[in-house]
Amino acid sequence: MLTKKRYTIKNMILWTRWETLIFIIYAVIVTVLYSVLGFTFLNFPWTPIALVGTAVAFVIGFQNNSAYGRIWEARKIWGGIVNTSRTWAMKVLDMVTAEHALSAVSEEELQKHRKTLIYRHIAWLTALRYAMREGRSWEVIDEERTNREWLNMIHIPERVNDLKTELSPYLSEKERDYVLSKKNKHGALLFLQSRHIRKLKEQGFVWEFAFLELENVLEEFFTLQGKSERIKNFPYPRQYATLSHLFVRIFILLLPFGIVPEFSEIGTTLTDSFPWFAPFFVWLAVPFCVAVSWVFYTMERIGRVGENPFEGSPNDVPISTIARGIEIDIRQMLDEDPESIPAQFPEQYHVQM
């Protein structure tokens, strides 16, 4: 997610530079045809074009509101994961004790169980963020040239390393192989967590009430996981996305045929007052067409990339950064050596991953 406002306009211009070039060329061609070559029949009434533009603006507004709603909901879900993860670590550290143990147990063994439960949770975060980064047929980040340039410039963690490598520090080889054999790997990890705390309850390392509390936290993780999967696996309705995409392009195609004649007429009215400037006034239609086309196209494209908040674009939810922040917090709760705790993923071009 982009972290500095002053880079937004600059990035937007760079992000849409190829389309802007097309808008310039197209507006120049229409102006040359109308003004230089005398194709004055290329004249559409401005009122219908303005009405189309108004309708397109409503459609784009609806798309952007819906896209923002998906992004904001995804951010709230991952905010819930942050809070519940800290709760899990706190309860594991305080509830896995020898107070009701059926046999003697050392503090080292208890700490080993606590560490296993917390590390397995980090593995769950890792598997979940990898699942959220998987591609879907309706996701569009790879379709645009500038989006591909962006992906080549940055290093999204889930695209750099494979899941097996990332899980290895947190799971035993047996558990890792078990998890990787499942389709829903993050769900399999929650199942392992539940089975582990049940065994701890049977040994008396977890009191029955504490067991229920820990199970409730796991249930909350399942709920948050399901909500995140819902956004990932259910796209913004394609009929709205397709129509918005089509209507914007129709409006951009019609725009110069309404603006160029209007500017030509204005230039004619200036002949008496500014005879040296009037013949050239029609060329001001070019930057005007480009500006209007850029605004409509950019807003539609922002809505399009905002539909899928886990792809890895600059405006997506930074799930890699969030997951690493949780890992740092809960490993500090374990009083681990700071040198052994991985650093936060660095911002790249002022964007959190």
Would the pLDDT of 147 be above 80?
A: no
Please state the rounded mean pLDDT for residues 255-262.
88
Reported as a pLDDT band with limits 50, 70 and 90, residue 1 is low
Would the pLDDT of 77 be above 60?
A: yes
pLDDT, tens digit (0-9, with 9 covering 90-100), for 232-250: 998 877 777 788 888 999 9
Lowest-pLDDT range, 77-91, 143-157, 249-263? 143-157
Would the pLDDT of 7 be above 80?
A: no
Lowest-pLDDT range, 134-148, 192-206, 278-292? 134-148
Which pLDDT value is given to residue 326?
Answer: 96
Contact 290, 35 (CB under 8 A): no
Reported as a pLDDT band with limits 50, 70 and 90, residue 41 is confident
Residues 6+ away with beta carbon under 8 Å from 207: 95, 99, 100, 201
Sign of CA dihedral 146, 147, 148, 151: positive
Q: Give the three-state DSSP class for 2.
A: strand
Contact 320, 157 (CB under 8 A): yes
Would the pLDDT of 340 be above 70?
A: yes
State the Cα–Cα distance between residues 318 and 301, nearest whole angstrom: 20
Reported as a pLDDT band with limits 50, 70 and 90, residue 6 is low
249-282: b (≥16 Cβ within 10 Å) or e: eebbeebbbbbbbebbeebeeeeeeeeeebeebb
pLDDT, tens digit (0-9, with 9 covering 90-100), for 268-327: 777 767 777 767 778 888 999 999 999 999 888 888 888 888 887 777 889 999 999 999
